[in-house]
Amino acid sequence: MRGETVIIHCFRGNPAVARVWEADKKVVYVLTREGFSRLQESGEGPIPAGFLRKDVFKYRTDLDDEVASGQIDWSKLEPWKG
């Protein structure tokens, strides 16, 4: 689970790619790829942001362009089950 790449539904409805730091039954704590690496390597870095599980989806490489553009069809995504 830790380190898994996911797509998150951000506060303004935009998609973003993140890496899982930790999760519980309701919330998934994520970081940017860079933030994850810093925190893992040194134990210091940004604090992971928490997202409700309903806003975290399985990562798909074929959607990278849609994620980058900020326009994604959320119905194409599967909920993350980690």
Residue 69 belongs to a domain: no
Give the per-residue pLDDT at 41.
Answer: 87
Residue 71 belongs to a domain: no
Please, what is the Cα angle at 46 between 81 and 21, to 5 degrees? 20
Residue 52 belongs to a domain: yes
Residue 81 belongs to a domain: no
Which domain range does residue 22 map to? 5-61
> Domain count of the chain?
1
The identity of residue 51, as a single letter, is F
Alpha carbon 11 to its chain centroid, in Å, reads 13
The identity of residue 8, as a single letter, is I
Note the pLDDT tens digit of each residue in 3-13: 999 999 998 88
Q: Answer yes or no: is pLDDT of 1 > 90.
A: no
pTM, entire model: 0.90
Residue 36 belongs to a domain: yes
Note the pLDDT tens digit of each residue in 8-66: 999 888 999 999 999 999 999 999 989 998 888 888 888 999 999 999 999 999 999 99
